[in-house]
Amino acid sequence: MKYRILSDEELQHLEGDLKAFLIINGIHGEEWEKLNREEPQMALELVELFSDQVLQTVYEKVKFLEHRTADSCIVFHFQENEQELIAIQKKSDSALDLSTVDGIHEALTKTPKNLSFFTSKKSYTDSREMEIHQLLEQGAVLSDAAFWNSLKEIL
């Protein structure tokens, strides 16, 4: 397994896609039920394969992630061959909270002098999609171009 198995809730939302995946692989409704009963390990392997395909497709579309804590906000921009990041760090004597959108907005608009900024670029050490997966597993969330571009303007 390359990434992770989708949760039951995720699989429920993708039920139609899973059925199509099974049909493409020559398994229809009754056969799937029989496989689940008689060969649960093989059924699990098919769900793992489906999960990897779904996550691969999703990760290929990801362009921006962010990871926030009370002390910092890091925004990642995933390009084809490298990732770029912008980090916002509160200065040690500041009571700012960068873990929320409102806190970040307030810090950027009202007290930018209490922030330090850092930018970096790096080539992927693993596949682009695996690096996205690892950041998501560490608590990063989807972000967007508007936030990235506003931070670029500030810099």
DSSP letter string, 53-120: HHHHHHHHH--EEEEE-SSEEEEEEE-SSEEEEEEEEE-TT----TTSHHHHHHHHHH-GGGEEEEEE
**pLDDT for position 137:** 95
Helix, strand counts (H, E) of the chain: 7, 5
> Facing residues of 120 across strands?
85
Instruction: Inform me whether the pLDDT recorded for 75 exceeds 90.
Output: yes
**pLDDT for position 4:** 95
The predicted model scores a pTM of 0.85
Q: Quick one: average pLDDT of 5-9? A: 94
At residue 47, what are phi and psi to the nearest 5 degrees? -65, -35
Counting beta carbons within 10 angstroms of the beta carbon of residue 151, is it exposed (0 to 12), middle (13 to 18) or buried (19 or more)? buried
**pLDDT for position 25:** 87
Instruction: Inform me whether the pLDDT recorded for 114 exceeds 90.
Output: no
